[in-house]
Amino acid sequence: MAEVLIVDDEPSVCWAVSSLAEAKGHSTEVAASAEEALQKLESYRPAAIILDVRLPGMSGLEAIDAIRQASGNAPVILITAFGDLETAVAAVKSGAFEYIVKPFDAATITGAIERALAPRESSLGVPLGEAPISPDGMVGKSPSIQVVFKKIAQAAAADACVLIEGESGSGKELAARAIHQHSARSSGPFVAVNLASLSPSLVESELFGHTRGAFTDAHDAKPGYLQQANGGTLFLDEVADIPAAAQVKLLRALEHGEVTPVGGGQPVATRFRVVSATHRNLLGQVEAGEFRHDLYFRLSAFRLQLPPLRQRVDDIPELARYFLSQLGGNGAAITSAALEELKRRPWYGNVRELRNALEHAQIVSMGDAIRVEHLPAAAPPLNTTGHVDLGELIRAWAQQQLENGEAIDDLHARFLALVEPPLIRAALEKHQGQFVAAAKTLGMHRTTVKKKADEYGLSSD
């Protein structure tokens, strides 16, 4: 059994958390303010403390150092109703053991209490930089984005390489900038490089620099992006596109903290932190021999997965209002019907597509509130070549069918009924209704094609 102190000005929260802790065999004390908690701690030594951020008088964040000191460095679990990125960073900066966003379920708070009370060798809080982080579009309250905020705060507190994974448009560069801005390197440069935009023949020169006369048109020496990032952060976007030769040199630069310019013999010392990003399956490229495994493990010391927008639909209204205010309009100038339409869309282009759609709608609405008809058509899923990704469409359709609450026992039959008619129709149209030729194109027997065409009512066409 352990002692737990609960500091919250909401009696219902205190009662609920007390009940859950006592159900696990622990005893509890309650305080309605930070000042009352400090008073209790003069004679009371809890093993863990649950502390609300918003309190009358001194806030939880303002009081956490004094409370920790008065309690003999007991682990502090922060709870807040305002789960934004600044709160996540402040919670990590304060050295909180955990922070939880209201409303929380019983399993979440119970698990946090048990983890806080579990024996551990040490509790190490790493201070963050002093510069405040602006959300810059990274807004939301959904559980998935709360996980992202926490991981950004954790990454900012360390100096390891970070690999950010996520679909195009999901905010990978925003996350990288947030990590940099609140890290110990925030006063240094943030150098962003999109490797997919660089000519393969110039990647080494751009990354590592070159000396005068290293190649044709190299009239002057030029420092590369790695040198420009000295003392700061190098953001390698689309890192999967880095050529094999440059992978070797990048690994050496990371291992030894020095860069050898193209055409140069003497390495140049440079210290930087690498945050890389990709929308591809980088580990799959490692397994296929297209990306060095040692560089992959070096770059992915800390991994951050950004959720697609369709997995955080509840954040769309808040994102919409934020983007409209950034675009110079009224953040509330959008109808509820338009918001519901935004929430229904799959957003394969993610947050970037949402912003572009709102910018389009704001122009079309000509100062009026944005309505459904002002929105552009939803974009289809695209693969890396720019063509429609049929596999992604099928996956999204299947997810929609499975999540509609119905009991489904015939998903495969539904799918075939959906795709076979247009497929057979296209083959018959290609061959002017000749079943033998259409069957050859489809890789099916002629009688099978004829039977299915009759079944779907295509024979008369």
Do 245 and 343 belong to one domain? no
What value does the mean pLDDT of the chain take?
Answer: 84
- Beta strand pairing call for 258-259 and 268-269: antiparallel
Tallying the residues shown for the chain, one arrives at 461
CA dihedral for 233, 326, 139, 126, sign (positive or negative): positive
The answer, yes or no, to whether residue 126 has pLDDT greater than 60, is no
Q: Tell me, yes or no, whether 395 lies in a domain.
A: no
> Whole-angstrom Cα distance, residue 246 to residue 457?
58
Single-letter amino acid code for the residue at 362: Q
Residue 292 belongs to domain spanning:
143-305
> Whole-angstrom Cα distance, residue 427 to residue 442?
7
Q: Tell me, yes or no, whether 244 lies in a domain.
A: yes
pLDDT of residue 123: 32
> Whole-angstrom Cα distance, residue 112 to residue 110?
5
- pLDDT tens for each residue of 267-317: 888 899 999 999 988 988 898 899 999 999 999 999 999 999 988 999 998
CATH number of the CATH domain containing 24 = 3.40.50.2300
The answer, yes or no, to whether residue 102 has pLDDT greater than 70, is yes
State how many domains the chain has. 4
The CA dihedral of 77, 78, 84, 88, to the nearest 10 degrees, is -50
Q: Tell me, yes or no, whether 189 lies in a domain.
A: yes
Query: pTM of this prediction?
Result: 0.69
Between 459 and 343, name the one with better pLDDT: 343
CATH number of the CATH domain containing 352 = 1.10.8.60
Do 149 and 204 belong to one domain? yes
> Whole-angstrom Cα distance, residue 103 to residue 45?
28
CA distances from 106 to 113, 116, 441 (A): 11, 15, 58
The answer, yes or no, to whether residue 134 has pLDDT greater than 70, is no
Q: Tell me, yes or no, whether 381 lies in a domain.
A: no
Do 186 and 247 belong to one domain? yes
Beta bridge partners, 27, equal 3
Do 360 and 437 belong to one domain? no
Give percent above pLDDT 70 in the chain: 87
Between 220 and 133, name the one with better pLDDT: 220
Beta bridge partners, 162, equal 275, 302
pLDDT of residue 389: 63
